[in-house]
Structure 1
Amino acid sequence: MFESDRVLALDVGASKVVVAEFAVPRGRPIELLNYGIGRLDITPEGESDVSAYIVSTIRDIMREKSIKVAPLLMSLSGQAVFPRFVKLPPVTRDKIFQIVQYEAEQNVPFPIEEVVWDYQLITGDDGELSVMLVAVKIENVQKLTECVLAAGVEPEVVDVAPMALYNTVRYNYPDIEGCVMILDVGARSSNLVFIEGSRIFSRSIPVAGNAITQELAKEFNVAFADAELLKLQHAFVSFGGVTAGPENETADRVSKIVRNVVTRLHAEVNRSINFYRSQQGGGTPSLVLLAGGTSIIPHMDTFFREKLKVEVEHLNPFVNVAVGGNLNAEKVAGDMHLLGEVVGLGLRRSLTCPVEINLMPPALVAKKVFRKRQPYFGMIAVGVALIMLCWWVYLGHMQKIRKAQFGVVEQKTKALEATMGNLQRVLSDEKKARDKADRLLDIVRLKTVWIEIIEDVYSRMPEGMWLSSFTPVTQAVAGTNQITYIEIEGNGFVDKLVDKPEKSAIEEFRDKLRSSPYFTKNTEIKRQLLKESYMRQFSISVALKQPIPVK
């Protein structure tokens, strides 16, 4: 994908920015060379446009860590995207994209032209094909990519944070069995990712670190920034019940508030597990991997271990990913909960990942395409200049030849002018007679053609079908109006039109029309629906092999 042997990974969260630099040696796993984590210090009720904070934070990290520009892969937060999981009907491979596009238009809660969307096909253990649709509003992703460009780097891939975590776990935990759930507890939201065989399911929950900070601000009647400081200094998940709290009264009050919020999070996690089991056919998680900035609050793992009755551990993104010798191993271990997304992004550079989503905004895609074509534009300009030079030399030579020939031609022309008048009169009379004959022949031919076309259509109709409309469609072709399509609308009795396993009765009728000597393979079904319990309605656009001129 890239020519560089280095790659940058960028994860922009609600409260922090992570920039990581990876080496990508040929034939070996990626290696973390450098990274930096910067806080955005933005309150939820603060400025609506955080672009300036993001740009300055990225620049500060790259300057302080001496990270040089390289191809960059970035991720969007799970809360910013709209994931949908849809089971596909049995269709042939060549129709999958059409079905996926239709499902995207039906499931994305915005007009399809206002979003960037991508999809990943998922084959179940039973061979059933599903699709994971991921969409984001163009204005949201474009605002973020503009921040990255303003910081001096250009994104090559726009991934989604939960999918980056999925790829991280798949690479670092290749031997996991059963259902594994990633619980990424961030600042503004918590992301759940279920991994089970080839199955994947994700969901974003609006309960996370900021919810704790807001409850602390209410309880202690302090500003959000002060409440955040209280959380960092005293927060842990209290054990509840009759267990004695800490001697520090402030820590005791903070821990109880933390437990209340985490209990709300647990309720949402339980709902998501039940939904995954009932609607997606998944199993109960046997392992929970914690990630995210809020996940390291003391006793968070103990709380979920007791509540979910499963093994809970913190996600380690460096099981199979090397860490450069220049990095402090203890510091990397302390920051592992924030590095899962950037590792998943780095893996996109070195290998084909199980899930590969790219939500690059259309304007940036067009810019990249234009840049790739620029060298060809220069070559074309040189080629045009050479062609013009050749024509100039050729025309100069031809001018001399034509000048000599002109005298001879002029003499012959004068000799022919005498007979030209008589010849033109004869040709004019002939043309009038021919035009009259052609009009009469066209009338006879058109009547015959329409009769043959209608008879051919009726000969291919199955029993129980009738036509309600037969409308020619006229288009301007080469300066003349021609009938190129016929819009056919009709109905059929449900009990007469019997569908086959591989195609419906309407599709079979369409295929018969395609095999007609009068129609082309561009004949397509525009609509088919069950109008009443006993009747099906359909509309077919029939393309003529030989357009019929309209005079």
Structure 2
Amino acid sequence: MSAEPILIIDGGLKSLTIGRFTFGETGPSLQASYEEKSIPQDAEESSQVEAWASALKKLCKAHNLSGKAIWVLPSRYVFTAMLRFPHVEPSKQAQLIAFEASQCLPFPLKESVWDSTIIADDGSQTGALLGAAKASLLERLAEHAEDCGIELNAIYPRSIVDAALYNASSQKGTQATLLIHFGEEHIHFTFCDHHQVFIRCVAFSEGDFSQDFFLSTLDVTVEHYQEQTGLVVPQHYLLSGTSACRLKALESLKPRYGDAAILWNPLDLFGLKSTERTHAEEGLANLYAAALLTVNPEFTSVNLLPMQVLRARLLKREKPWLTIAGLCLLLTPVPYWLFFKKMRSEYAFKDEQVQSEIQQVEAINASMELGQARLASLETSIQKLQDLGAAEMYWSGFLDDLQERLYRTKDVWLDSLERSQDEQGNVMSERVDLVGRLLLTHDKAVDDATFSQETASLRVYDLVESLSGSMFIDRVEEINFDTKDKQVLKFKLALLLAH
């Protein structure tokens, strides 16, 4: 472990906390912590960074802080999502994750910084944790830190640190556990099952919090967790945070889960004395969690430090050497030029040979230009192949999803599937026509005429509802079905795909 201390900075919405850590054989050790509370509440994104910068400047100046650091970013400014896609080779995962990110991010991909980590892979399906934030916010954050003598090595989302604390605790076991952390504005639901992690953030307000809201949110989250992972319902529920709402939440969980639902203080992991536990327990827990993410590669981590910041930092370090190298290149031709001037007066008769060599050089330049044109053509071909590969992965995911939804509807099979394109204005849309049959079963005591109409309508619209929930389908445009046969229903659906 490095003896060099590292600063962990927790940028909260109402305060900024800094901890100085050293790392030894037993893990991270907090040497000192500092807090600045002069941050306006409910600050906008543009002014929030400036408020952090002002607080950071005060603390660095007051306590002579500088060096390498890790920043923990609040959930308000970070988008997290759990991605699930068909298993592919590791070399192709980044391209597939980039495609999934472009579909679900609430802001343009080119204006964001995103990172991901694989959290589960059973050979057929792969699960990944995606984190993203606006690039402008992160770059300004790194710029203000450097102005204070702070060099950011990583920026971690607040929502991922609970898993690190749990993995380091004695509470960790073989049964599925749900960590429920009440932050300043968000509830973090973190499901831990062996090496798999599932995270969901839900915004809330202490003034509007109610037990009904919490239980309904919990039920939806658990249902979503099971749909995404196929894993069992959590067996243990650990509640953490400093908000008074966690006590109300515990009261609502006790009738359901009994002793399986308990309050959990992550600071108990580190044996801190009561005098060391200041009123800023929330910030301290975040600091320790970020320190654990820094030293333990087994913990799930998503680093949102912009690549542009790293490039600028590297260029700044190499700039003196680049300047020296440039001067050397400028000075190198001088002696050769003097020698050529002297020799030219003595060998003027060789002018024709020089002209011949110039022509050879021009021929070489022409050949190089032709090679560059061929290279541009090759890059275009490569781009077409990459687009074809992305399309192949998209259709593979679409067909797998379609097969799963047809299976859930039961007793349905396809006779044909046709793909077409339609240009509306300057927009090209993809359309898929499905022709198939549904098996109808009914009670013989029911009138056949009534049955064929009502049951057929229910069966078809069950299928339509299932297809409409697919991420690959924008909407179902046309619905046609034939009720002449009371045993088998023929149908035709037109699907407009989402890209």
8 Å CA contact retained: 2:182, 2:188: yes
Instruction: After TM superposition, give the deviation of residue 197 of structure 1 in Å.
Output: 1.3
CA gap 1:409/1:181 in 2 versus in 1, 3 angstroms: closer
Structure 2 residue matching 1:380: 3-state secondary structure:
helix
Q: Which residue of 2 aligns with 1:102?
A: 99
Q: Deviations over 1:170-208 (max 9, x none)?
A: 123474221222222122222111111122111111224
**Aligned residue among 118, 136, 156 for 1:121:** 118
Q: Which residue of 1 aligns with 2:219?
A: 270
Q: Which residue of 1 aligns with 2:339?
A: 397
Q: Deviations over 1:216-246 (max 9, x none)?
A: xxxxxxxxxxxxxxxxxxxxxxxxxxxxxxx
Q: Which residue of 1 aligns with 2:302?
A: 357
**Aligned residue among 316, 326, 350 for 1:381:** 326
- Inter-partner Cα distance in structure 2 for 1:409 and 1:285: 89
Instruction: After TM superposition, give the deviation of residue 263 of structure 1 in Å.
Output: 4.4
**Aligned residue among 52, 55, 58 for 1:57:** 55
8 Å CA contact retained: 2:119, 2:196: yes
Q: Deviations over 1:401-447 (max 9, x none)?
A: 443333x659xx8xx9xxxxxxxxxxxxxxxxxxxxxxxxxxxxxxx
Q: Deviations over 1:442-470 (max 9, x none)?
A: xxxxxxxxxxxxxxxxxxxxxxxxxxxxx
- Inter-partner Cα distance in structure 2 for 1:404 and 1:361: 60
8 Å CA contact retained: 1:182, 1:288: yes
Q: Which residue of 1 aligns with 2:189?
A: 192
Instruction: After TM superposition, give the deviation of residue 118 of structure 1 in Å.
Output: 0.8
Q: Which residue of 1 aligns with 2:35?
A: 37
8 Å CA contact retained: 1:164, 1:340: no
Structure 2 residue matching 1:11: 3-state secondary structure:
strand
Q: Which residue of 1 aligns with 2:173?
A: 176
- Inter-partner Cα distance in structure 2 for 1:94 and 1:57: 43
8 Å CA contact retained: 1:56, 1:151: no
- Inter-partner Cα distance in structure 2 for 1:47 and 1:520: 40
Structure 2 residue matching 1:176: 3-state secondary structure:
coil
CA gap 1:15/1:522 in 2 versus in 1, 3 angstroms: closer
Instruction: After TM superposition, give the deviation of residue 272 of structure 1 in Å.
Output: 1.3
> Where do residues 307-318 of structure 1 align in structure 2 (5 Å cutoff)?
307-309=256-258, 310-317=260-267
What TM-score results when the alignment is normalised by the length of structure 1? 0.60
Structure 2 residue matching 1:5: 3-state secondary structure:
coil
Instruction: After TM superposition, give the deviation of residue 32 of structure 1 in Å.
Output: 0.8
Paired residue type of 2:116: Y
Q: Which residue of 1 aligns with 2:494?
A: none
Instruction: After TM superposition, give the deviation of residue 274 of structure 1 in Å.
Output: 2.6
8 Å CA contact retained: 1:314, 1:337: no
Are residue 331 (structure 1) and residue 280 (structure 2) matched? Answer: no
- Inter-partner Cα distance in structure 2 for 1:480 and 1:112: 31
8 Å CA contact retained: 2:86, 2:124: no
Structure 2 residue matching 1:283: 3-state secondary structure:
coil
- Inter-partner Cα distance in structure 2 for 1:134 and 1:204: 12
- Inter-partner Cα distance in structure 1 for 2:101 and 2:304: 14
Q: Which residue of 2 aligns with 1:133?
A: 130
Q: Which residue of 1 aligns with 2:454?
A: none
Instruction: After TM superposition, give the deviation of residue 329 of structure 1 in Å.
Output: 4.3
- Inter-partner Cα distance in structure 2 for 1:179 and 1:482: 54
Instruction: After TM superposition, give the deviation of residue 369 of structure 1 in Å.
Output: 3.0
8 Å CA contact retained: 2:67, 2:149: no
**Aligned residue among 62, 83, 96 for 1:86:** 83
Q: Deviations over 1:29-57 (max 9, x none)?
A: 11011112333563448897234432333
CA gap 1:405/1:36 in 2 versus in 1, 3 angstroms: closer
CA gap 1:372/1:149 in 2 versus in 1, 3 angstroms: closer
Q: Deviations over 1:2-24 (max 9, x none)?
A: 97711111112222322111012
- Inter-partner Cα distance in structure 2 for 1:313 and 1:264: 19
Instruction: After TM superposition, give the deviation of residue 133 of structure 1 in Å.
Output: 1.6
Unaligned 5+ runs, structure 2: 354-368, 400-414, 422-499
**Higher radius of gyration, 1 or 2:** 1
Q: Which residue of 1 aligns with 2:154?
A: 157
8 Å CA contact retained: 2:240, 2:246: no
Q: Which residue of 2 aligns with 1:207?
A: 204
CA gap 1:341/1:127 in 2 versus in 1, 3 angstroms: farther
Paired residue type of 1:203: R
CA gap 1:299/1:284 in 2 versus in 1, 3 angstroms: same
Q: Is the deviation greater in 166-175 or in 152-161?
A: 166-175
Structure 2 residue matching 1:154: 3-state secondary structure:
strand
Instruction: After TM superposition, give the deviation of residue 396 of structure 1 in Å.
Output: 2.7
Q: Deviations over 1:38-85 (max 9, x none)?
A: 335634488972344323333444455x36212110122223222222
Paired residue type of 2:235: S
Structure 1 residue matching 2:315: 3-state secondary structure:
helix
CA gap 1:172/1:375 in 2 versus in 1, 3 angstroms: farther
Paired residue type of 1:164: V
Paired residue type of 1:23: T
Q: Which residue of 2 aligns with 1:20?
A: 19
**Aligned residue among 217, 241, 264 for 1:292:** 241
8 Å CA contact retained: 1:164, 1:345: yes
Instruction: After TM superposition, give the deviation of residue 136 of structure 1 in Å.
Output: 1.5
- Inter-partner Cα distance in structure 1 for 2:379 and 2:50: 57
Q: Is the deviation greater in 133-142 or in 122-131?
A: 122-131
Paired residue type of 1:8: L
- Inter-partner Cα distance in structure 2 for 1:374 and 1:318: 47
Paired residue type of 2:338: G
Q: Deviations over 1:373-407 (max 9, x none)?
A: 3243134134325xx24x3223333443443333x
8 Å CA contact retained: 1:78, 1:162: yes
Instruction: After TM superposition, give the deviation of residue 158 of structure 1 in Å.
Output: 0.8
Identity between Structure 1 and Structure 2 (%): 15
Instruction: After TM superposition, give the deviation of residue 352 of structure 1 in Å.
Output: 1.6
Q: Which residue of 2 aligns with 1:549?
A: none
CA gap 1:405/1:52 in 2 versus in 1, 3 angstroms: closer
CA gap 1:24/1:396 in 2 versus in 1, 3 angstroms: same
Q: Which residue of 1 aligns with 2:493?
A: none
CA gap 1:270/1:339 in 2 versus in 1, 3 angstroms: farther
Q: Which residue of 1 aligns with 2:457?
A: none
- Inter-partner Cα distance in structure 1 for 2:293 and 2:320: 28
